[in-house]
Structure 1
């Protein structure tokens, strides 16, 4: 192929006249610029790491300190109180002016470093305080105000993305007794008296036999490791799973709901890909402000490191995550054919106009897929062991290895899909089909192992499918928000829907990836495809826009919108199934270094009491409202405790891992870890660090995203509180289950939300009278 020949820097041939050497100056220039870019990136990373290592101090403060001490010495004042003399005597024998200057330089550096360490230690102590989270709204204590002022002062100015990493506290290990008590409290409303007594007995046996021994290992790990949970969570919950990650682990995200800048597929792809690379460039330079809670407490930014150039690689026993330092290309899938697209030329990122030309070239390419290529991606949708074996056997050398490497190393995968998904404010029936396409597609047109796939539909809509092990959904949500914001504010389209502007360089043509897939490998691909399609066909997804009200109205009830929705989910589940279920709500632990998630067990005794009161004709509105407020307040408190490391599930999970290492069997831990989450919920964050004002740009509303059901007879519910008057719900279940129906559950959620609104408005009206 022509593009492959252009990549060869030199070649030679032997003729009758002798050795004939051919040198490609363009290729050599490309190699040179690539090296320059790589070393520049490493140098910038080194400087950033050095700056983050001394943050919040600035390098100019070292020069200022040196100037002060030297000025004092020249005026006859020993500001160091004899410390410099000791340094001089320790390192030098001469009494010359030069040696004294050197000793002062060493002294200033040591004093400055000691000051840096002291400030960082004090900052870590301040960031270890979490009492501010439990202050009553609008009634902040004086001690918390003083803490906030000190934290802001010591927190420095103009931090980079990783500036606070070393100052973040470690995740604490809760006391065994506290965790067991919280666990027993969480399961009490779900168990009859006999089952609850049995669970209490199991917990008591665990406490007096092996709990202390297991706890000691965890405490030791918390002292030694950065985070005592995250590495085991990634390894055993995500990478050790041998079943399909499609539907079961990967999640999806949607485009803006009511803003579609163009209907041209290639134009939208060009603009958004350019926006993603622009964000990656900012990320590489670490010029992103860390997200702060209440503008004071920074969240851990460690998960941002693996957004781009990352892929999950299958293994027979367990998978691994591989991250490449850099990748200047993307992998593009269109009609079963794979292409490698270079997004840089001569070290410069291609503009949207140049990328538009590349994508149009791919769409105009009418070549047929190679044998086995069309369904190749189905390997990533099926079971992990057959995929690992096939990768080792059929993709370890030759063109297959080279082409597979191009996909796995790519910055991300772009899918140019033939489907269309039209959405409107009046008709949202297409939302569910849109969500299903992003969740699993045709099972052969998403590379589910990649950190994320961006899917561009034929009518200009986009969405994503993300692998879960490398990071949690808020990170990917932040990336997409930033890219959408960049496109929304800085990129434009002409009247025909094409990218505005003129191409300034000629892009490298897309390279068609070559494959030589044997019949034996094709059988494995077809088996994985059949399994994946059975899994996808069993997904019942209902995506709906709840427009009756949003967080604006709920806040007038002086209630947390998240707690309000969780109460509605419990009421909806009671009406849907006639009973309650163990409920999972994801919270984050990023207040700690390398923190990821913790579980909030939302089905509490308070939530159960409220939901039952709504179905009890003998309950008064006053009683129902009182129970709702009590349930919401306890949920908020429980959510905050999970955020500060006082959750239940991650602690018990790590105790279970230690027990397996020690080859100890615990009936209590075994029981806890095998309980099914029949209602799994998660809130997608919105507007994390977005400069776009929704009051000025009300159409910049995300559709959120969702995930597959966790239990065979349960529901998965993702929701995003988009704005003052809109909440999106993504409800999944399995069609094969006779107990669940996502459409029915969505109706019950909507009914519960409206009933609770009427209750709160009625009580609010009575309070005014």
Structure 2
């Protein structure tokens, strides 16, 4: 109660002698400091908006132009407007008050400003033209031709000295719409190895009919959208692939990121939370100020960063929506069935790590019992979306329930203090990492708020991880934040000898606020039903995570081979072995389209005729001296949008219907290490991350995530479902396949014949309007290329 009284700025009572007013000076002081903080943040956002709006020009550039221009005209006695301003001033009421010198000054300002605007406009369009050229991607890995070097110099010249996070948004080209004819042809190429002759002939007939009749009409609407919208794919992709899904987002959509593999900086749960949360909030401050450095020397779209914080997915009956707040000064915390609201600012500043640890120590020491229905409440976010939408509308739209739910949904992010211990155990690597991965993916199904943009999960022994909602952004954006946190935690922030955060507790810091709930039995029944659905889904997940350390990209590159191309072929070989009677399947490899404005992802169909031939040769123990991947092309987003347009028009296409219904039984993605300067794995190999993973896309398929770390380590995260008799999430098949493929390459490398053993990196190419546009697979290491 004392904390509640301190939180009130003023109190008054009515007495016979009048009104007795009591002011709480500390509360008024905090209100004042909070206002100052908010206005500073608004000013920074306004300044950043101006800087981004005039980019690649700058206000300082305008000042230089004006000063230089005015100095020249003053000493040369030249009217910069060539008399135009003088003639115009005669018709203005103020003309008699402006001297000839004043007219010269005003004319100089106007002409100088116009010159600056013209130069900025030219630079922006030249930069957009330069960024529309993607021929640099076809350079041989590790080398650059003269044309690419000149292009890089020009991009650097027109990009300015210190671009901000959102500086390039207006200069990025729009995603082109490929011709229907090309998309149909590329689809048939990708489908050929998966069909017998009769199936392929039938699909070819459907495809040709679509290309000739309905396709051109649908294409016209897509072209119209591409001219009007910033990106003709992304808004539909977000809505129909993510937000309109009515099944659970836990396992099916959300993904996770792991902690360091070999070390835990401190075993104190509250201390680990203190440092990591402070690092996350410092990242948010840099994000608000647009100070996040570009990931690559080639500009990428940064739009996905905008909803990283203060964002929650709100359930609806037909579709969910993303609720984003411009400002949030608190986080929401869950521990042993209790929800808390923890303020992140005091005295107008961000709490220090030791002060955040102090708050979490109070939460860990709280022995209160959960209110009825509170402990399992978050299971609503883990089950089906419709029951959650109905319950939210019926039971959480007023009173204390609404206030508490607002505190959770409007928080900067969600923190779960897990009461289990998770870590990599070298004596039991398989079981320990499997348990760790499953805990991050779904936990107990009621101790994560799966609707938040991301959950920070801190375990009892100090290990931590993230669980991220997928609709607002893709994994590279979240991993960029996570790399910042991991690099800041043990090195920049550090801990004392006894494991506490550095610094001292705050003597006057108000404690966390318990959230209050009034959950009726009817709502508790809905919670129990959602928990039952979520637990069935979680129990069905078969997950294995094992570091592959026989070799890494060092040896693969010695064989003149792309590491990602090598792993993709190994996955095809492993899947062929484990699949009953040896079958190939439609394979999804995530790639990015962030070279284009508001770009998100595209699909690399890595199961090609050439990879199938190679796999069959390896299965027959043939000596294969050369394997080549014919480039698969980006067709799936185009087909997806064509299908949506057909539905809007009420048209039925047998071709599109079959294409969109094909299951992705092998869904793969690489998690690239983006900020190499933050990690020195040669000097500190113990600070290597475990990467992250996701659930299987198809009931009878696999979800495979992998991260290539340093020269000698590849971490695989493999998921499938126990209920499928055709899947088994074991690394044995992958490791066996990798060793089998590397053997002849390694032998040849030792004999000095590497030139006969090359893999062409999988490419994703769009030919449009006579030009070559291409998106880059996430797996490709553009940092090495440029």
Q: TM-score range by the shorter chain?
A: over 0.9
- SS of 2:68 mapped into structure 1: helix
Kindly state the Cα deviation for residue 766 of structure 1 after the two structures are TM-superposed.
4.1
**Partner residue of 1:420?**
421
Contact 1:354 1:505 in 2 (8 A): no
Alignment of 1:263-282 (within 5 A): 263-282=267-286
Q: CA RMSD in A?
A: 1.6
- SS of 1:248 mapped into structure 2: coil
Alignment of 1:556-595 (within 5 A): 556-577=558-579, 578-595=582-599
- SS of 1:266 mapped into structure 2: helix
Q: Does 1:318 find its partner at 2:322?
A: no
- SS of 1:531 mapped into structure 2: helix
Kindly state the Cα deviation for residue 60 of structure 1 after the two structures are TM-superposed.
2.2
Q: Does 1:759 find its partner at 2:759?
A: no
- SS of 1:71 mapped into structure 2: helix
Cα distance in 2 for residues equivalent to 1:264 and 1:436: 22
- SS of 1:233 mapped into structure 2: helix
- SS of 1:626 mapped into structure 2: coil
**Partner residue of 1:526?**
528
Cα distance in 1 for residues equivalent to 2:494 and 2:410: 30
Higher alpha-carbon deviation: 414-423 or 436-445: 414-423
Change (3 A) 1:91 1:754: farther
- SS of 2:508 mapped into structure 1: coil
Kindly state the Cα deviation for residue 70 of structure 1 after the two structures are TM-superposed.
1.8
**Partner residue of 1:42?**
42
Q: Among residues 545, 553, 556, which one is paired with 1:554 in the alignment?
A: 556
Cα distance in 1 for residues equivalent to 2:191 and 2:704: 21
1:676-699 residue CA offsets vs partner (Å, 9 max, x unmatched): 000000101113364332222222
Cα distance in 2 for residues equivalent to 1:447 and 1:88: 67
Kindly state the Cα deviation for residue 84 of structure 1 after the two structures are TM-superposed.
5.0
Q: Does 1:68 find its partner at 2:53?
A: no
1:559-586 residue CA offsets vs partner (Å, 9 max, x unmatched): 1000000000000011000111100000
**Partner residue of 2:438?**
436
**Partner residue of 1:717?**
704
**Partner residue of 1:22?**
22
Higher alpha-carbon deviation: 380-389 or 8-17: 8-17
1:458-506 residue CA offsets vs partner (Å, 9 max, x unmatched): 0000011100000000111010100111113211222221222223563
**Partner residue of 1:644?**
none
Kindly state the Cα deviation for residue 220 of structure 1 after the two structures are TM-superposed.
1.1
**Partner residue of 2:120?**
116
Kindly state the Cα deviation for residue 352 of structure 1 after the two structures are TM-superposed.
1.1
Change (3 A) 1:105 1:522: same
1:703-744 residue CA offsets vs partner (Å, 9 max, x unmatched): 01111111111111011112211111111001011111112x
Change (3 A) 1:491 1:141: closer
- SS of 1:44 mapped into structure 2: helix
**Partner residue of 1:750?**
735
Cα distance in 2 for residues equivalent to 1:581 and 1:695: 39
Higher alpha-carbon deviation: 92-101 or 361-370: 92-101
**Partner residue of 2:352?**
351
Cα distance in 2 for residues equivalent to 1:90 and 1:204: 65
**Partner residue of 1:209?**
213
* Unpaired stretches in structure 1, ≥5 consecutive residues: 642-646
Kindly state the Cα deviation for residue 7 of structure 1 after the two structures are TM-superposed.
2.5
**Partner residue of 2:645?**
658
1:342-363 residue CA offsets vs partner (Å, 9 max, x unmatched): 1110211111111111111111
- SS of 2:545 mapped into structure 1: strand
1:65-98 residue CA offsets vs partner (Å, 9 max, x unmatched): 2222222222336485xx4533453456536321
Kindly state the Cα deviation for residue 6 of structure 1 after the two structures are TM-superposed.
2.6
Contact 1:485 1:690 in 2 (8 A): no
- SS of 1:625 mapped into structure 2: coil
Q: Does 1:288 find its partner at 2:292?
A: yes
Cα distance in 2 for residues equivalent to 1:129 and 1:724: 32
When the two structures are superposed, what TM-score results if normalisation uses the length of structure 1? 0.95
Q: Does 1:166 find its partner at 2:170?
A: yes
- SS of 1:298 mapped into structure 2: coil
Q: Among residues 243, 247, 252, which one is paired with 1:243 in the alignment?
A: 247
Alignment of 1:120-131 (within 5 A): 120-131=124-135
Cα distance in 2 for residues equivalent to 1:504 and 1:538: 46
Cα distance in 2 for residues equivalent to 1:273 and 1:330: 9
**Partner residue of 1:494?**
496
Contact 2:295 2:674 in 1 (8 A): no
Kindly state the Cα deviation for residue 428 of structure 1 after the two structures are TM-superposed.
1.7
1:166-201 residue CA offsets vs partner (Å, 9 max, x unmatched): 111111111111111111101100001111111111
Change (3 A) 1:568 1:74: same
Contact 2:262 2:686 in 1 (8 A): yes
**Partner residue of 1:225?**
229
- SS of 1:515 mapped into structure 2: coil
Contact 1:250 1:439 in 2 (8 A): yes
Kindly state the Cα deviation for residue 768 of structure 1 after the two structures are TM-superposed.
4.9
1:237-264 residue CA offsets vs partner (Å, 9 max, x unmatched): 0000000000000001100112211111
Change (3 A) 1:213 1:87: farther
**Partner residue of 2:779?**
none
Cα distance in 1 for residues equivalent to 2:117 and 2:90: 22
Kindly state the Cα deviation for residue 136 of structure 1 after the two structures are TM-superposed.
2.6
Contact 2:558 2:749 in 1 (8 A): no
Contact 1:482 1:690 in 2 (8 A): no
Cα distance in 1 for residues equivalent to 2:394 and 2:299: 46
- SS of 1:407 mapped into structure 2: helix
1:565-621 residue CA offsets vs partner (Å, 9 max, x unmatched): 00000000110001111000000001111111000001111111111100114x3x2
1:13-63 residue CA offsets vs partner (Å, 9 max, x unmatched): 222222222222222222222222122111111111111122222322222
- SS of 1:731 mapped into structure 2: strand
Cα distance in 2 for residues equivalent to 1:689 and 1:614: 35
1:429-460 residue CA offsets vs partner (Å, 9 max, x unmatched): 20010000000000000000000001110000
Contact 2:79 2:107 in 1 (8 A): no
Q: Among residues 230, 250, 257, which one is paired with 1:253 in the alignment?
A: 257
Matched residue pairs, number?
745
Contact 2:424 2:433 in 1 (8 A): yes
**Partner residue of 1:394?**
395
- SS of 1:657 mapped into structure 2: helix
**Partner residue of 1:512?**
514
Cα distance in 1 for residues equivalent to 2:597 and 2:571: 32
- SS of 2:717 mapped into structure 1: strand
Contact 1:351 1:503 in 2 (8 A): no
Kindly state the Cα deviation for residue 279 of structure 1 after the two structures are TM-superposed.
1.0
Contact 1:291 1:689 in 2 (8 A): no
Q: Does 1:613 find its partner at 2:617?
A: yes
